[in-house]
Amino acid sequence: MLSIFKMRVHLLLFCIAPTLGMTQNKAAIKEGNWLGVIYRTDGKTVPFSFKSATNNGKSVITIVNADEMIEVEDLQMIQKDSMLITLPFFNASFELATTTPDQLNGFYVKTSNAIKTKAIFKAYWNQPRFTSYQQSKYNPTGTWDVVLTNNLTKKQTISVGNFKQLPDGKVTGSFLTPTGDYRFLEGMVSGDTLQLSAFDGERAVYFQGIFSSDSTISLGSLTAGFAGSYTWHGKANPNAILPDEYAYSKMKPGNTKLDFSYRDTDGKMVSINDDKYKNKVVIIQLFGSWCPNCMDETKFMTQFYKNNKARGVEIIALAYENYEDPMEANAALKKYKKQFGITYPILHTGVGPSDPLKAEKSLPQIDKIAGYPSTIFIDKKGEVRKIHTGFSGPGTGDFYQAYIKSFNKLVDELLAEQ
């Protein structure tokens, strides 16, 4: 399913001496296809693709992940040979030197609570994401039972791989996990080696796997972000499914209703007990502006709300942000709300996503928040009927369509109740 959205980049304005002369970008990046590579300190890399074009004399960059196109429209020059590009929501940026027309050199930077983490970044003009050294021996098309193992913690995650090999040899698809998916992956099979990667500003991932037979992938590796490292293996299974995504979070014994009040991005206090939500089907979205899967869910929720509000459906988003400063968190949420055209309230819980007591502090009636995004379905009586963990986004193909179908069915059933 084609999923194209524009990420309009609002560049950070640095306090730089006037002699440096920040100027508007005028076609600073050579037009055409580029290979971007993030170089980690452990020697591992994450490759991805982007395109550069000129629009009204200004460079426009489009990050390409299979069917997803992330358009970066505003770039800013610092002197004649330096450029700053800041991606929205994720506090991520590229600091680049543009001295060579066919190559960009610099850093991929992420900032969290004023602390910057950097990785060397290079980009090469007219270079493909992957180069085939041998004709493909295997076709990964179909679904796979996958086990991902964190190399540091040794924690295993039951996953599902869903891939499609196209006539030109390109492979697209994703890996689904109980708390979300790896979004739009793109790559190829070279000989016996499957390679898939993606970059969306927050998440940079590179999957590799070796086929040992038509139905077995072994010696798999996953390079994720600045330091994440996993191994994985897969077995072809046309009936592969995730464990029950409604089983991870439950209401605590004796509790049937939620009770919360938080301020929205305009400072207004909003409560689930407000008259606005009485006798309505209410959907609670647990998310963060830092969460890639939450973007996919938000796009769906925003359109769903527009189409179904008149039927008696309301949505409230509860945000779990990584910022210690609540003003920074609110600024990020305002930007997020504007970007996606969200018309339902976003409430800042003031609780961080990694806080082990996040459920107790923000929604003490449920036993745990297993992951982001999570979705809570409330009936017309105000009682919680189901809690779903994760979101299978459009990059997962048929799994996305199946989830949307079940989502609509559940809401229809709740609306039909007296």
pLDDT value of position 8? 36
Q: Which residues of the chain have pLDDT under 70?
A: 1-27, 88-89
pLDDT value of position 54? 86
Residue carrying structure tokens 């891939």: 163
Q: How many CB atoms lie within 10 A of CB 85?
A: 21
pLDDT value of position 56? 81
- Cα dihedral sign, 55-94-224-190: positive
pLDDT value of position 28? 74
pLDDT value of position 237? 98
Residue ranges of alpha helices (H) inside 239-325 are 292-308
Long-range contacts of 407-412 (CB under 8 A, 24+ apart): 407/304, 410/377, 410/385, 410/386, 411/281, 411/283, 411/308, 411/313, 411/377
The class that CATH gives domain 261-416 is alpha beta
pLDDT value of position 89? 67
Residue carrying structure tokens 């996305």: 400
C-alpha torsion angle, residues 145, 151, 153, 157 (rounded to 10): -10
Q: Tally the C-alpha atoms within 13 A of residue 50's C-alpha that lie toward its C-beta.
A: 23
CATH of 3-125, one of 2.40.128, 2.60.40, 3.30.67, 1.20.950: 2.40.128
- Cα dihedral sign, 16-19-20-24: positive
Q: According to CATH, what is the number of the domain 142-236?
A: 2.40.128.120
pLDDT value of position 38? 97
For residue 400, the SS3 value is helix
Kindly report, as residue ranges, where domains of CATH 2.40.128.120 are found in the chain: 142-236
Give pLDDT tens digits for 339-379.
Answer: 899 999 999 999 999 899 999 999 999 999 999 999 999 99
pLDDT value of position 168? 86
Give pLDDT tens digits for 313-327.
Answer: 999 999 999 888 899
CB 276 within 8 A of CB 344: no
